[in-house]
């Protein structure tokens, strides 16, 4: 029995019909432009929240980890993010917290003095006046 030959149902279709069928199958099973995974920055922009919020709620947002280890890349499906309930504004829009800068040290561990850039003016103390 010839399953895929000219005697099967597909054998009765002409070339234009086969072309239409092939295009339709490709539409259904092929990748769509909207199926692209997005990173943390794009996810934050899509939801209108901070990147910190995305990191803190990654599991709830359907995170897809690319790679292994603690530095695995985080990716998100935009269609899943669009169905996520919006967070409370004060929690979501909180500014990015920066870590305090470590003080520079020598190889022996001796702290170095901070030197300001010549273009950056020294902060003035309260009550002092600039005499020029």
The CATH number linked to 41 is: 1.10.10
Domain of residue 83 covers 33-97
> Would you say 37 and 77 are in contact if contact means Cβ atoms under 8 Å apart?
yes
Whether residue 52 is contained in a domain is answered as yes
Whether residue 26 is contained in a domain is answered as no
Closest CA to 38 of 23, 53, 54: 54
pTM here?
0.43
Based on C-alpha coordinates, what's the Rg of the chain? 29
- pLDDT tens, position by position, 38-81: 999 999 988 888 898 899 889 989 999 988 888 889 999 998 88
Give CA–CA dist 62/78, Å, rounded.
10
- pLDDT tens, position by position, 91-130: 555 555 556 677 788 888 888 887 766 565 666 665 555 5
Closest CA to 25 of 41, 13, 36: 13
Whether residue 16 is contained in a domain is answered as no
Which pLDDT does position 113 carry in this prediction? Answer: 80
Whether residue 2 is contained in a domain is answered as no
Whether residue 121 is contained in a domain is answered as no
How many domains does the chain divide into?
1
> Would you say 38 and 76 are in contact if contact means Cβ atoms under 8 Å apart?
yes
Whether residue 105 is contained in a domain is answered as no
Whether residue 76 is contained in a domain is answered as yes
Residue with tokens 């009765």: 12
Whether residue 3 is contained in a domain is answered as no
């Amino acid at each position: 029995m010839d399953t895929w030959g000219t005697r099967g149902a597909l054998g009765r279709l002409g070339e234009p019909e086969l072309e239409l069928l092939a295009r339709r199958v490709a539409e259904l099973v092929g990748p769509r432009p909207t199926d692209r995974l997005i990173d943390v920055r794009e996810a934050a922009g899509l939801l209108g929240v901070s990147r910190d919020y995305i990191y803190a709620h990654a599991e709830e947002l359907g995170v897809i980890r690319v790679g292994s280890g603690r530095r695995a890349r985080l990716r998100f499906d935009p269609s899943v993010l669009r169905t996520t309930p919006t967070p409370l504004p004060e929690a979501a829009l909180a500014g990015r917290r920066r870590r305090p800068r470590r003080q520079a040290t020598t190889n022996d561990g001796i702290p170095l003095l901070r030197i300001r850039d010549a273009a950056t003016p020294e902060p003035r103390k309260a009550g002092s006046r600039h005499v020029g």
